[in-house]
With several copies, the nearest count.
Chain A
Amino acid sequence: MTTFEEKQPAVSVEKLKWMYEMMAKSRYFEDQMVEVYTEGKAPVFNIGAGPVPGEMHLSTGQEPAAVGICVHLTKDDTVTAPHRPHHHAIAKGVDLKKMTAEMFGKETGLGKGKGGHMHLFDPAVKFSCGGIVAAGIPHAVGAAMAAKMQGKDWVAVAFIGEGAANAGAFHESLNLAAVWNLPLILVIEDNSYGISVAKKAATAVETNDLRAAAYGIAGAHVKGNDPIAMYKVSEEAVARARNGQGPTIIEIETYRFLGHFQGDPELYRDKAEVPGLREQDPILKLRNSLVEAKGATEKELQKIEKRVKQEVDEAYQFARDSNYPAPEAALDDVFSS
């Protein structure tokens, strides 16, 4: 197995290429979504118009957080994600066609069009997300509990934004997971903002991994939106969880290239901020390192990019081609029988 060296221990090239592919897929998926979302919303923006209506929270720039840990997971491990879930879903292997169709509100969607982009559920790979800040953490605790009760070495990963670390559910969940020594990993994506409110105006500590002390568990901090550092920290955290050594908090410094949601006027941040962040694009950086360190040839990478493009394009085509559910289907699926 070829390995790829940085200052730290080795990461296999296969894993790096997988991470590159997933990041590229997420990015290309969202680049398309930026366009699709505006369909029907121009010249006058109307959130309820177009093929993909409702709120749209994109994760462009935040891909490292998702791939750096999901690379260590199997489909038996659980992931819960928040309102900004595409990069996690893609890294966890959620069915891309059904996911896209769901965002288009089609009957072929993951939730038959009932969920929408904030409510993607793919039990085949144990993925879920939701629109209430911090509410997915307890669900991951429950998955971790279920794994432990069934004697499995499965782990559960909850993703949240840094703003969610001030919600009550954060504290209750971590205390419970720690007391019960559950295989839970909480990944906090610090993109500096909760909508318009800066982290420093909302959070009493510099970095949320410090809060691990409140639960007697492990904490780690990843700087610079670095997928490889995320990989390494996550590798340890997942191993600890699988070995019955309890929960970990990981906070990663990451960047939100776009607004909180599409249509956000972003008056709360400096116009120059985003171009500065974009210069640090983690996908380009990983691509460059792979090429420079001869971990992958330009040709190999182009092949990956082509595959990604094809898969995403197909997913959008599938979504567009699918039918809307019959209106009366609104009455189904409240209860199963």
Chain B
Amino acid sequence: METAKKRILTGNKAMAEAIALEMERDPKVFVLGEDIGNYGGIFGSTQGLMEKFGKERVLDTPISETAFIGAAIGAAAEGMRPVVELMFVDFFGVCMDQIYNHMAKIQYMSGGNVKLPMVLMTAVGGGYNDAAQHSQTLYATFGHMPGLKVVAPSNPYDLKGMMISAIQDDNPVVFMFHKSLQGLGWMEQLDVSAAHVPEESYTVPLNKAKVMREGTDVTIVGIQMTVHQAMEAAERLAADGIDAEVIDLRSIAPIDKETIIDSVKKTHRLFIVDEDYKSYGMTAEIAAIAAEEAFYDLEAPIRRLANPDVPIPYSRPLEQFVLPNADKIYEQVKNLMNE
């Protein structure tokens, strides 16, 4: 991909392109959700689809998440391949029964006789002062409960490739996209939210973490926003002579243990960073995996940085205090190196 003509897409356009390619390929694919038609999705994930595919395949819904996510389940059981949007992950509680007791369990309860080839996409993330009910990631909430593949891509290339994989997968997939990585005109402009994306269709696996930067001194595991923060911290650590390996987890469930353990075996130190709440979160699971399976390779305590166990506050200084960032990673990894 590095050598191809540099066609730059934002995260949201990469997603919408993936959906469009799949809709062209397979007439069973359709999209539904709130404001995903005319509006193109509040976070642009369906931009242009209504114009291209019409109202029959791009359906704006009432504010009835239980009904329309449940309807997506019912349609998937009949062989359709719905892509359904839950506008903010924070709204999960009005429809979690459909997501967790049905979307996640029907394949299992039916002994594999019913398949649910569907994608639930949802926006995650804070950092723009949208407060406690609109800023969460809830990665572990979805990762904890078996039956769903749960992914959280960090860049336009993966957003496209993983969305195509998700739609083609015969299993239910929760696809979390990070608002700040959509490259939207009305949010802070991050360089990493726009990147080269090949025009053609391609897939990126739903169960593989990615080593973003090789290093020998410490492993830093992050996901979505925190990957980019970790990369920035790694550059600064490098200037101090600390060579960090940075891993983008990408898939919350299933977890690619191997990539993490291999890295820890090499670096002997593990730092985990997460935008989600700390307790019972992603940092806990990755730490536990290492403490179980790479214990003898660890030379220092595992360290983890995540949202402390408080709801996400509105006011800027408060929110900045709870969110992880490159500075905090840099400092805490430095401390870890002195252990």
Contacts and interface: CB of A to CB of B under 8 A. Distances in A.
Contacts of A121: 106, 109-110, 113-114
A331 interface: yes
Contacts, number: 290
Given A135-B102, A330-B322, A145 B64 contact: no
B202 interface: no
Interface stretch (A9-17, A166-174, A284-292): A166-174
Interface residues of B, number: 82
B172 to A, nearest CB: 9
A329 B90 CA distance: 23
A106 B313 CA distance: 12
A252 interface: no
Interface string B202-242: 00000000000000000000000000000000000000000
A118 B131 contact: yes
B321 A54 contact: no
Contact of B80 (A105, A128, A146, A197): A146
A242 interface: no
Contact of A168 (B66, B107, B317): B66
A147 to B, nearest CB: 8
Given A145-B75, A146-B79, A175 B67 contact: yes
A119 interface: yes
A42 interface: no
Most buried by B among A114, A134, A173, A201: A114
A133 B93 CA distance: 12
A142 B74 contact: yes
Interface stretch (B11-19, B183-191, B288-296): B183-191
A321 B313 CA distance: 21
A132 B111 contact: no
25 contacts: A48-B127, A80-B74, A105-B129, A111-B110, A114-B314, A114-B315, A121-B109, A132-B97, A132-B101, A132-B133, A135-B98, A139-B71, A139-B74, A142-B74, A142-B77, A143-B74, A167-B94, A173-B71, A176-B62, A180-B59, A195-B39, A196-B37, A196-B38, A197-B61, A334-B107
Given A132-B101, A135-B101, A143-B75, 20 more contacts: A46-B186, A47-B187, A105-B314, A105-B318, A114-B315, A115-B110, A121-B106, A121-B110, A123-B77, A130-B133, A131-B134, A132-B93, A138-B66, A138-B70, A146-B78, A167-B63, A201-B60, A202-B63, A325-B318, A335-B171
